[in-house]
Copies of this chain bind each other. A is one copy, B any other.
Amino acid sequence: MPDSPEKIYQQLCDHVRQTAMILSIQHVLAWDERTTMPPAAGQYRAEQITYLAGIVHERQTDPRVGEWLDALADSPLATDPHSDTGATIRTLRRRYDRKVKLPQTLVEELTRTAVLGQQVWATARKNNDFAALCPLLEKTFELKRQEAEAVGYDEHPYDALLDDYEPAETTANVARLLASLRHRLVPLVEAVAQSRRRPPVDVLHRHYPIASQEAFVNKIAERIGFDFQSGRLAVSQHPFCMRMGPSDTRMTTRYDEKHFNSAFFGTLHEAGHAIYDQGRRADQFGLPPGEYISLGIHESQSRMWENLVGRSLAFWEGIFPEAQEAFPEALGDVAVDDFYFAVNDVRPSLIRVEADEATYNLHILVRFELEQALIDGELAVNDLPVAWNDKYEAYLGIRPDDDTHGVLQDIHWSAGLVGYFPTYTLGNMYASQFYAAARDELGDLAPAFRSGKFAPLRAWLREKIHVRGKTFTAAELVRDVTGRDLSEEALMHHLHDKLAPLYGLE
């Protein structure tokens, strides 16, 4: 008598949970590498990570997984795609099919190159030395092309890479969404540029002692809902958030004594990711019902707290007295309205992670187009710095003086993350569309924000998005929560509603 579907399902889940546990060890190594590890230890760390990645890949491509999934394909457990069991079977099937197409040697080389790439990148960025990174980046794009060919794709090799971060999304659809957005965004950014009103951004560049910043961002992260019992905030060169256990979510920020935004909005952003991570089901850690849907959905949560909440007038009306107390020298003589205008300064800039809500998406456009060209072979890595600078000049009207403020600013490509960038702008669109739905259901959130209460919004996000894990695809979720397909509509609405009064637009 063959095993029952329930028994097979249990075997499958035990196997997948164990794999997730090994992967979580790899995450601890990565966290340590980026926050603590001494420089000379890099080579050995790459060996350690490669070893674990090998075990993980072996387990993910274990033929038994394919057999279990085959046996479950027509079982009642697979019927409802939004049930825990249905979503698990659907997701693991997709993942298994992708993984078995990738040769073990390619996976190991991708991992090794990514680990070394991140180390070389950190030095290259510091020394403004693109040439030092170039060979590793060439190897990375060559390996990513091999990955796309191995995985297969319908229209464009880039589809195969994008799918890893934004499952079921296509290059064509993203290109269409970004084009629609650009079509409406460029006139808005131009109108802002022509306005004679300018925010007093100098207040953001006063002296903000780092110890005070640390205390302040820790307090605010806790206020909006980051749980320090199951999380940590540390420092790294490039901020990130990482869930490395059912009750272990880590995030980082970086401090700039002469810039308020860097640590503050960086922390709100990562805390948004972290609240999503902490809001998912701990009992389903390592299984699809406990996983995030896609990077775009993940990013929607970080943007929600960074921009929709953290750059709203009500938020600052609530928090500003505390900010003045934390930074009396910098903010003692500043009015809240001026500060609110300053943190909503819209103007073209060089650094993506410090860009404003509006122009940010043009930074993404640059990267989206360049990485497609690199994968197609239309652009050589060697020519990347010039191509980068040209596109910044074309889309944002400014040109980087050096590569540290240009092509070397992001870790992504050095870490093997190609096809990742567009998910940031998808996230911005999702965030606005979700936020509009939240306000439709909960009413005006401003009074709660003014009194420092973020639980109603957080509870809504948790119920509608977080606890659902991967039982919905991104497209299904956005239709279920907002009643519509994803579009640029809500984001443009939000930007216009905010920027028109600030800049006196019609």
Binding site for B on A (CB under 8 A): 18, 21-22, 24-25, 28-29, 31-32, 35-41, 43-45, 47-48, 51-52, 211, 227-232, 234, 244-248, 250, 285
Contacts and interface: CB of A to CB of B under 8 A. Distances in A.
Contacts of A38: 228-232, 247-248
23 contacts: A21-B51, A25-B25, A25-B48, A25-B52, A28-B28, A28-B29, A28-B32, A28-B48, A31-B32, A32-B32, A36-B36, A36-B234, A37-B248, A38-B229, A38-B231, A39-B230, A40-B248, A41-B230, A41-B244, A41-B245, A41-B248, A44-B248, A45-B245
A248 B39 CA distance: 9
The 3 closest A-B pairs by CB, nearest first: A41-B248, A40-B247, A40-B230
A230 B38 CA distance: 5
A37 B48 CA distance: 20
Contact of A229 (B32, B40, B45): B40
A18 B47 CA distance: 10
A47 B244 CA distance: 13
A234 B32 CA distance: 12
A46 to B, nearest CB: 11
A44 B47 CA distance: 24
B22 A51 contact: yes
Nearest to A31: B32
Nearest to A22: B51
A230 B42 CA distance: 10
Nearest to A244: B41
A273 to B, nearest CB: 16
Given A36-B232, A38-B248, A39-B229, A44 B28 contact: no
Nearest to A245: B44
Contacts of A31: 32
Given A21-B44, A38-B230, A40-B227, 19 more contacts: A21-B48, A21-B51, A24-B44, A28-B28, A28-B48, A36-B36, A36-B234, A37-B232, A37-B248, A39-B230, A40-B248, A41-B230, A41-B245, A41-B248, A43-B247, A44-B245, A44-B248, A44-B285, A211-B211
A213 to B, nearest CB: 15
| Residue in A25, A35, A227 with the greatest tally of chain B CB atoms within 10 Å | A25
Nearest to A18: B51
A28 B30 CA distance: 10
Nearest to A47: B21
Contacts of A28: 28-29, 32, 48
Contacts of A52: 25
Contacts of A211: 211
A211 B36 CA distance: 19
Given A28-B28, A32-B31, A247 B21 contact: no
A253 B246 CA distance: 29
Nearest to A55: B55
A16 to B, nearest CB: 15
Contact of A44 (B35, B48, B232, B246): B246
Most chain B beta-carbon neighbours within 10 Å: one of A37, A43, A227, A234: A37
A44 B234 contact: no
Contacts of A21: 44, 47-48, 51
A87 to B, nearest CB: 23
A333 to B, nearest CB: 28
